[in-house]
């Protein structure tokens, strides 16, 4: 089955330290991969996506993600975490579906950045 | 980019009462529209999606229904709410292609008592 996995329910990091939020996927064909962020009581916001080309994708708020085809991973990274980065992060994959395409979301990883 | 509006922002309803949540989209035409439910600030459950007016697909059997009376309007309804219908409801939109980003509304928090 085609799926997205976020193995960590929660990631804790100190402000100023690098952060990584993990994502692995299982899809047939070329994957279209996304990261979204959700702040409390808000809708999801798009951060970045990988379609093709350079494996390192840069996105909003200083975030980046590295596509690794051999490891089927798309980990989200930031060199220096901010307290304001604390939020719920979702990895997602775009799949072909009956009548078009649909997006499959991972279960989410809660990031806590401590001052 | 697309802008998604949802209302109301918060709703408290008694068990057995009807429900109507509305979502409208700006900045695009003929979008794909989605209703998700999010429980306890965690994962998203896709409830319904629509590729056009009057075209609704249900992902899970449940107490809810959806309708799309206009191109950029998507409505989530129930005739009789259950306690288990409580949650955070998100409307989303995309343009249907394989590379498309989904745009989300601000959500409606529903509490059924």
Could you tell me which residues of chain B have a Cβ less than 8 Å from any Cβ in chain A?
Answer: 4, 32, 41-44, 46, 49, 51, 57, 88, 90, 92, 94, 96-107, 109
H or E, element range at B24? strand B19-26
Q: Average the pLDDT over each of A19-28, A59-68, B60-69, B103-112 and give the range with the smallest value.
A: B60-69
Find the distance separating the first CA and the last CA of chain B, reported in whole Å: 37
Tell me the chain A residues in contact with residue B101 when contact means C-beta distances shorter than 8 Å. 34, 46, 49
Is residue B67 within 8 A of residue B56, CB to CB? The reply is yes
- CB-nearest partner of A100 from B32, B43, B107: B32
pLDDT tens digits, one per residue of B17-33: 999 999 999 998 899 99
Task: Say how many CB pairs under 8 Å bridge A and B.
Answer: 61
Alpha-carbon gap, residue B1 to A28, rounded angstroms: 29
**What residues are paired with B91 via a beta bridge?**
B35
pLDDT tens digits, one per residue of A44-55: 999 999 988 899
Check residue B41 and give its pLDDT.
Answer: 65
CB atoms within 10 A of CB B30: 11
Alpha-carbon gap, residue B21 to B19, rounded angstroms: 7
Asked, as a colleague might, if the bond just before B47 is cis with ω within 30 of 0, I would say no
Tell me the chain B residues in contact with residue A94 when contact means C-beta distances shorter than 8 Å. 98-100
Alpha-carbon gap, residue B78 to B89, rounded angstroms: 13
pLDDT tens digits, one per residue of A21-72: 999 999 887 789 999 999 988 999 999 999 888 999 999 999 999 999 999 9
Q: Is B83 helix (H, G, I), strand (E, B) or coil?
A: helix
**What residues are paired with B104 via a beta bridge?**
B92
Please report, rounded to a whole number, the percentage of residues in chain A having pLDDT higher than 70.
97
Note whether A43 contacts B: Cβ–Cβ < 8 A: yes
- CB-nearest partner of A49 from B51, B88, B101: B101
Q: Determine the distance in angstroms separating the CA of B17 from the nearest CA of chain A, rounded to an integer.
A: 24
Task: Identify the closest residue of chain A to B46 by CA–CA distance.
Answer: A104
């Amino acid at each position: 089955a085609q799926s997205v996995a976020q193995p960590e329910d929660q990631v804790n990091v100190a402000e100023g330290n690098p952060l990584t939020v993990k994502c692995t996927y299982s899809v047939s064909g070329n994957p279209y991969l996304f990261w979204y962020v959700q702040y409390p009581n808000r809708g999801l916001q798009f951060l970045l996506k990988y379609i093709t080309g350079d494996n390192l994708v840069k996105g909003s708020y200083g975030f980046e993600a590295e596509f690794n085809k051999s490891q089927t991973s798309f980990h989200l990274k930031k060199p220096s975490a901010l307290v304001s980065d604390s939020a719920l992060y979702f990895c997602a994959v775009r799949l072909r579906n009956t009548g078009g395409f649909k997006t499959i979301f991972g279960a989410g990883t809660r990031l806590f950045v401590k001052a | 980019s697309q802008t998604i509006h949802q209302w109301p922002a918060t709703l408290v309803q008694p068990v057995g009462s009807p429900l109507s949540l509305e979502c409208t989209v700006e900045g695009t035409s003929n979008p794909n529209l989605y209703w998700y439910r999010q429980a306890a600030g965690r994962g998203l459950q896709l409830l319904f999606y629509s590729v056009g007016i009057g075209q609704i697909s249900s992902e899970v059997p449940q107490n809810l229904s959806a309708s799309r009376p206009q191109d950029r309007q998507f409505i989530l309804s129930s005739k009789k709410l259950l306690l288990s219908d409580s949650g955070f409801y998100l409307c989303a939109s995309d343009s249907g292609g394989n590379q498309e980003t989904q745009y989300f509304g601000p959500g409606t928090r529903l509490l059924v008592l």
